[in-house]
Amino acid sequence: MPVIQRKNAVVGGAGNSCHTPTLHLASMNGQAASLAAGQEGLLTHDQLCRCGYSNEQIEYLVETGRLERLERALYAIAGAPKTKRQVIRAAVRAVGPDGGASFECAAEVWGVPGFSTLPVEVSTPYGHDHEFTLGKLHQSCFLPKEHLTVVDGIRVTTPARTLFDMASRVPWKRLERAANSMLAKKLVTVLALRRMLTEMGKRGRPGTRRFRQLVEKLEQARGHAESGLEADFQELVVDAGVPEPRLQVDMFDDDGFIGRVDNHWGPQLVIAEVDSDWLHTAPLDEEADALRDKRLRALGYEVLRFSEYQIRQRPEYVIRVLREKLGLKRSRGG
């Protein structure tokens, strides 16, 4: 930020006044610039005051284009990159400490693929007292502090609360995929989703019924996709109209525990394993997989293995093999 020297500046008094003497703005600029550097170029009015700027000086910075006023008490340093993160940070800071990024915006902050942070959406408890211009504001009658956390410096709804909120408007398939992605990333557990349902479901909120269906399906499956590749395989199966398998099923024979299989079709005695490119490739891994597959086949199971390349680059082959082994008719055009 440029050094500013102004004559006849207001001199602040003692106590909690924001006004400070006009002096040595070079050092104060350095303090403000350092603070803004860790906040995507953003500064609040209180932070500027603590850095030594008076109200008059702040207004002068705005008038001369050195600061851009984003909200009533929120500013961006001129020239700071206009990134998604800056936009989200600004919106979250503008609503105060009781709010955070929410809905699809929160999903992207959490790294869930397929969602966008724009337009920015934030949630606060009822009572936000001024017009909000930096995105879409949701005022909730129940948003306890436990439903908020901080991710990379951005206050955001927890994964469980994010899924609950999205259940009211996100298509079922996208909601289910978002849940599986969060489970695979170990951001949330099925138990945490059940607790969120217990806490929020009593209040008759939109989306409660669909969120209950989601939780019950995950509980019934007794498992979930444990990686992004497994989630992609699961989506491929659903999109092709192939019956959904049980996920992460523990298998046993007379000698004891065999292992946990990725996908299990019990009635058809079919198991499908999903092998990433960086796992299951070492000689010892291949030997262990072969021994496990032999024990599973001894129980009467058809054991299929699909590579990451096949799932990502040859999905039609994967579906064709699955349909054949599951005894399904070929789909039209398949």
pLDDT tens per residue, the chain (334 residues)?
222 332 333 223 333 333 323 332 333 467 777 777 767 777 777 778 887 788 888 888 888 888 877 777 777 777 777 778 777 888 888 888 899 999 999 999 999 988 876 788 999 998 766 567 777 889 888 999 999 999 988 899 999 999 999 999 999 999 999 998 898 888 988 888 988 998 998 766 888 999 999 998 887 775 666 777 888 898 899 889 898 888 888 899 999 999 999 999 999 999 999 988 665 555 667 788 899 999 999 999 999 999 999 999 999 999 999 999 999 876 554 4
Q: What is the pTM of this model?
A: 0.60
Partner residues linked to 179 by β-bridges: none
Pairwise CA distance, residues 165 & 104, whole Å: 9
Q: What is the pLDDT of residues 21-41, one digit of tens each?
A: 333 233 346 777 777 776 777
Sheet containing 136-140: which strands, arranged edge to edge? 136-140, 121-125, 100-101, 154-157, 148-151
Pairwise CA distance, residues 100 & 94, whole Å: 10
Pairwise CA distance, residues 274 & 225, whole Å: 10
Q: What is the pLDDT of residues 262-289, one digit of tens each?
A: 999 999 999 999 988 665 555 667 788 8
Structural domains of the chain, ranges and CATH numbers in brackets: 1-81 (no CATH), 85-221 (no CATH), 240-326 (3.40.960)
